[in-house]
Each structure stands twice: as C-alpha cells, then as structure tokens.
Amino acid sequence: MVLLEKAPAKITLSLDVLGKRTDGFHEVKMIMTSVDLTDILELHERHRDVIDVSADSQYVPDDERNLAYKAAAAFKQQYHLTKGVRINIKKNIPVAAGLGGGSSDAAAVLRGLNQMWSVGASRAELTQLGARLGSDVPFCMTGTTALGTGRGEVIHPLPSPPACYVVLAKPDMGISTRHVFPRLNLNNLKHQPTADVIRSLEEANFRNLCDSVGNTLEPVTFSMHPEVARVKEKMLANGAAGAVMSGSGPVIAGLVRPFSRARRVYNGLRGFCDAVYIVRLLDQR
Ligand SMILES: C[C@@](CO)(OP(=O)(O)O)[C@H](O)COP(=O)(O)OP(=O)(O)OC[C@H]1O[C@@H](n2ccc(N)nc2=O)[C@H](O)[C@@H]1O
Ligand SMILES: Nc1ncnc2c1ncn2[C@@H]1O[C@H](COP(=O)(O)OP(=O)(O)O)[C@@H](O)[C@H]1O
C-alpha cells in the first residue's frame, strides 16, 4: 500500500519570547499560519519491521536523525506496531529556513501512518505525540492559523487571516533554531503586540495585520546575519505591506496585495536572494 501526504510550510506572523523556562526552552507566544508551499511524502508499507527514509535534499538526513523517521518510530512505539514503512520525501520547503519543514514532515507521517494502518488515533492524540517530536509539530498537525504558547506546542485556534499573497525570500544560508534562542538578551526583549495581531485577524483587517506583525528573534538573527535584515528592508521597499522573519529565520515573509504587486516584490527580490516564492495562505477568508 502507498499513501501520499502533503506537508505544508508555516510562517510566523508574530513571535514573542516571554522568558526562559526551567526546562531550557523559552516561553513564547507565536501566531502561525500555513502556506501552500508543501513537501510531498510517499509512505510505502513494508512487511519487515523497518523504517527507511529518503529525501531529495542533501541538507536533510536520511537516517534516524530525520524528523519523519522519528515520527514513524514514535508512532510505532506508541501503538505497539511491528509493521514497517518506507518514507520518500520530496523536499520543496527550504531546509532550516524558519518554515517548519521538518516539523511538518513529522506531522504528515503521523497523519499518514494513522490512516495507512487504520489505527484510529484522534487528532488530539497525534498532537500530543507530535509535541514530543518538536515544539512546532503540534501546529503542523492542524495546519490552519493558531496561537502557540508554552514552548510553542500548546495550540489555540485563531480566525483565518484576510486573503493576501505571501512573498517568501530566503538568503543563501540555513539557521539552526537552537543557535538563536541562547543569544537572546532576556533583560531587553523587544516584545510583540500579539493582542493587536489577534484583533486584526478577528476583524480581517489587512492593514492592521501588516502594521502589527513582528518577531522578537529578529535582532538576534539580524546581528548574526545582517543580510537577513537587508532582505526585510528590500521586501518593504519593493512594496510589501508588511514583512516579518519567520521563526528563527532566515526566511522573510512579505504580506502583499494584489497579485500584480506580489509579482513586483518577487521580481525585486530575485537575484538578491537564494530562493524567492509567491505563495498563498492555506487558511484565509
Ligand atoms: C521557534 C520556532 C518558531 O517557528 O522556530 P523555527 O524552528 O520555526 O525557526 C519553532 O517553534 C521551533 O520549533 P522546533 O523547530 O520544533 O524546535 P524544537 O526542536 O522544539 O527546539 C529546538 C531548539 O530551539 C530552542 N527552543 C525552541 C523552542 C522554544 N520555545 N524555545 C527554545 O529555546 C531550544 O534550544 C531547542 O533545543
Ligand atoms: N524531514 C526533514 N525536513 C527538513 N529538515 C529536517 C528533516 N529531518 C531533519 N531535519 C533537520 O532539521 C533541521 C531543521 O530543519 P527545518 O525543520 O527545515 O527547519 P525550520 O524549523 O527552521 O524550518 C535541519 O538541520 C535539518 O537537517
């Protein structure tokens, strides 16, 4: 049996860090929404009790370090399964970009195995299992628009954003999340107007949304990689109505209306960046 599962990328419209937790993670408030830039996972049932993973990207491990592998191993252990699976990943989401590609692949494996093996686990059970794999995985289980609290794994659904295009621009580097958080100056955090972003979603107010997006991690990533700050400036200079770094970066997401203006922003950034995309929100009014 073969099963195909899509794994959409996510962008963070707002990311605020409240402080450090006793478990070494940071307390966050972040608003995430999914976009139509997706990895495609092929799940092939194996009768032997093995997990094989392949990915068409040199930047992604094809062994037990792969988040898709970890998800399959956790699912098999949780439900005492001895069947095997081969997972082929078509990577369309840039790696270590702040778009949650690995987390989304892990969530796709949990959804896919639950279906392929007719386990019947609830979405809540899969989300709880996903939280053990990474802070981003619970959001990726839902794939709509939500506020993440705690370390990001506690999910509070939010209204869909107003329809717009998103230009994603990735400078030519990857950034590891675990290298960004420790560099935060916890005594001088630039907090975000999370409540304003939520209100703009409730009111479907595109202008107010664009004026309130922001990311407390930007100063850290920008100081490590000044070119990321330049991409954000260029995104706005080329006509984006709002721009914000996604996750720990380096991707900058620009909110744009209408499509003709999105094309202009896209063209203004191509050649300046390693990869530029125009995507749609998967969950929009
Ligand atoms: C912070 C975000 C925002 O989207 O960064 P991106 O990965 O997307 O860039 C994500 O929630 C990340 O989620 P995920 O990538 O699953 O991170 P995890 O594997 O849980 O944690 C990786 C490392 O990031 C740091 N970390 C992550 C989340 C958090 N709330 N506090 C932290 O300090 C820790 O050092 C941790 O060891
Ligand atoms: N299936 C996967 N897809 C992408 N990255 C993966 C995967 N499995 C493991 N990784 C590793 O996880 C790290 C984070 O990748 P990714 O989730 O794309 O970053 P981000 O959370 O910043 O978007 C990378 O170093 C990558 O090598």
Residue-by-residue DSSP string for 3-24: EEEEEEEEEEEEEEEEEE-TTS
Rg of the chain taking only CA atoms, in angstroms: 19
Of 152, 145, 207, which is closest to residue 11 (Cα–Cα)?
A: 145
Over residues 67-72, the mean pLDDT reads 98
So what's the pLDDT on residue 10?
Answer: 98
- This model of the complex carries an ipTM of 0.95
Per-residue model confidence as pLDDT tens digits over 150-185: 999 999 999 999 999 999 999 998 899 999 999 999
What is the 239 CA–ligand 2 centroid distance (Å)? 30
| Position in ligand 1 atom list of the atom nearest CA 181 | 33
So what's the pLDDT on residue 257?
Answer: 97
Neighbour-count burial for 149-174, b at 16+ CB within 10 Å, e otherwise: bbbbbbbeebebbbebbbbbbbbeee
Same domain, 46 and 176: no
Domain contains 134: yes
Categorize the per-residue pLDDT at 285 as very low, low, confident or very high, splitting at 50, 70 and 90: confident
Same domain, 145 and 185: no
Residue 209 has pLDDT above 90, yes or no: yes
Q: What is the largest CA-CA distance in the chain?
A: 56
Q: Give the residues across from 284 on adjacent strands.
A: none
**Model confidence, pTM:** 0.96
Per-residue model confidence as pLDDT tens digits over 240-253: 999 999 999 999 99
Domain contains 83: yes
Q: Does the beta carbon of 247 sit less than 6 angstroms from any atom of ligand 1? A: yes
Find the domain containing 251 and state its range: 165-280
Mutate to test the pocket of ligand 1, among 18, 95, 135, 153 (most ligand atoms within 8 A of CB): 135
CATH number reported for the structural domain that contains residue 54 in this entry: 3.30.230.10
Lowest mean pLDDT, pick from 50-54, 140-144, 207-211, 241-245: 140-144
So what's the pLDDT on residue 42?
Answer: 98
Q: Which two tokens stand for residue 165?
A: 């295009």
